[in-house]
């Protein structure tokens, strides 16, 4: 049998669709469920069960495969939907991959004009995800995920780094279809379209302080595990210890002294907002404590890189937030 013709590595695509019933293939369609990933890749994993057989000679140990799963990884852009706050046109293009990472969507309506994504700890939805690569297809079902980085940064676009993990049966042959992708090209964050704030007493609702920020980054740190029982297998998020990191020019210590705030164990909040086009904006925010204070060189200037755990209030689900909105909302 002749070898197939060589084909270029970058020919790949992804489609993701929410499942009605966990681990039942929702059959993502290339024309309506395409997700734009960058530097995407996929693979398979399993638990290796070796048999340490005593032999009279040197050799490897035979093994069996159990608890097998597949993954999809890559980067993606985040940007405001065309009409935040309402059904359909207020849903972010990347919502299908945000929700299985442990987020819930709230659409505030045509008056408030906000589409919010907040962390949840129960009833985390699953998706089916197809990854085509040249002429191979991996079908993931019951998939949940982790965002190892959500970052807003001056000079860069708002980006996330994703891992989806799901169950699979086998890898099959299928050419990459014509996948319909979003056409929006989000702007780069600049001095002219972006602002950032810290509230040194976030829990008490104190006055926000405008800061000169280079970067705000969140990492979900989801404990993403594959759990196998008789009859069933689950891809589960069993814990989350999200962290934040913010790089800013030093402030007047009379306005904000990070060492004093850190030593007092004070809860702070911070946010980074970029206005995209007209009145549409994207915002990333956190609620947490300062753990590390690194004095860093920022373009030759003295600055601080502050970081620590994201900490929810007693009601939960508010330790960080992804927000898309329209500034004309009330």
**Any domain includes 53:** no
**Any domain includes 55:** no
**Any domain includes 157:** yes
* Model pLDDT, residue 228: 94
Predicted confidence band at 276 (pLDDT cuts at 50, 70, 90)?
A: very high
* pLDDT above 70: residue 4: yes
* Model pLDDT, residue 7: 78
CA separation for the pair 196, 14 (Å, rounded)? 33
C-alpha dist (Å) from residue 150 to 83, 242, 249, 254, 276: 22, 11, 21, 31, 17
Domain that residue 307 falls in: 12-47+68-326
How many domains does the chain fold into? 1
* pLDDT above 80: residue 9: yes
DSSP of 42-77: EEEEEEEEE-----SS--PPPEEEEEEEEEEEEEEE
* Model pLDDT, residue 50: 95
* Model pLDDT, residue 202: 72
Give yes or no for a contact between 214 and 247, defined as CB atoms under 8 angstroms apart: yes
- 314 alpha carbon, distance to own chain's centre: 24
CA separation for the pair 225, 250 (Å, rounded)? 40
Q: What percent of the chain has pLDDT over 90?
A: 94
Nearest CA among 209, 207, 208, 212 for reference residue 189: 212
Q: Structure pTM?
A: 0.94
* pLDDT above 70: residue 206: no
Give yes or no for a contact between 40 and 74, defined as CB atoms under 8 angstroms apart: yes
User: Among all chains, which residue has been given the structure tokens 């024309």?
Assistant: 31
**Any domain includes 287:** yes
Query: Mean pLDDT throughout 260-275?
Result: 96
C-alpha dist (Å) from residue 61 to 51, 52, 54, 57: 6, 6, 10, 12
**Any domain includes 104:** yes
Task: Give the burial string for 11-24 (b: 16+ CB within 10 Å, else e).
Answer: ebbbbbbebeebbe
Mean pLDDT rounded to a whole number for the chain: 95
Q: What percent of the chain has pLDDT over 70?
A: 99
Over residues 43-81, the pLDDT tens digits come to 999 999 999 999 999 999 999 999 999 999 999 999 999
Give yes or no for a contact between 121 and 241, defined as CB atoms under 8 angstroms apart: no
CA separation for the pair 64, 52 (Å, rounded)? 12
Over residues 243-265, the pLDDT tens digits come to 999 999 999 999 999 999 999 99
Over residues 86-132, the pLDDT tens digits come to 999 999 999 999 999 999 999 999 999 999 999 999 999 999 999 99
* pLDDT above 90: residue 8: no
**Any domain includes 40:** yes
Coil/strand/helix, residue 101: helix
**Any domain includes 56:** no
* pLDDT above 80: residue 171: yes
Over residues 291-322, the pLDDT tens digits come to 999 999 999 999 999 999 999 999 999 999 99
């Amino acid at each position: 049998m002749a070898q197939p013709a060589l084909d270029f590595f970058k020919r790949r695509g992804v489609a993701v669709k929410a499942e009605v019933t966990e681990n039942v293939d929702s059959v993502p369609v290339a024309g309506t469920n395409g997700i734009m990933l960058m530097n995407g890749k996929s693979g398979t994993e399993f638990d290796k069960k070796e048999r340490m057989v005593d032999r009279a000679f040197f050799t490897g140990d035979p093994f069996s495969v159990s608890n097998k799963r597949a993954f999809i990884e890559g980067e993606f852009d985040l940007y405001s939907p065309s009409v935040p706050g309402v059904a359909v046109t207020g849903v972010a293009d990347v919502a299908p991959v945000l929700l299985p990472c442990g987020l819930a969507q709230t659409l505030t309506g045509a008056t408030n004009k906000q589409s919010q994504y907040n962390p949840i700890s129960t009833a985390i939805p699953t998706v089916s995800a197809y990854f085509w690569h040249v002429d191979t297809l991996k079908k993931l079902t019951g998939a949940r995920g982790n965002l190892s980085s959500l970052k807003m940064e001056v000079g860069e676009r708002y980006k996330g780094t994703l891992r989806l993990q799901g169950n699979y049966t086998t890898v099959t042959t299928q050419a990459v279809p014509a996948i319909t992708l979003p056409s929006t090209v989000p702007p780069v964050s600049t001095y002219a379209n972006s602002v950032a704030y810290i509230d040194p007493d976030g829990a008490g609702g104190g006055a926000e302080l405008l800061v000169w920020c280079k970067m705000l980054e969140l990492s979900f740190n989801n404990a993403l595990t594959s759990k196998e029982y008789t009859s069933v297998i689950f891809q589960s998020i069993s814990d989350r210890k999200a962290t934040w990191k913010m790089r800013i020019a030093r402030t007047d210590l009379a306005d904000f002294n990070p060492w004093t705030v850190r030593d007092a164990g004070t809860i702070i909040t911070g946010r980074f907002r970029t206005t995209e086009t007209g009145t549409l904006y994207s915002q990333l925010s956190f609620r947490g404590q300062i753990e590390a204070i690194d004095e860093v060189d920022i373009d030759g200037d003295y600055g601080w890189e502050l970081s620590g755990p994201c900490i929810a209030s007693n009601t939960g689900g508010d330790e960080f937030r992804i927000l898309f909105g329209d500034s004309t909302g009330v």
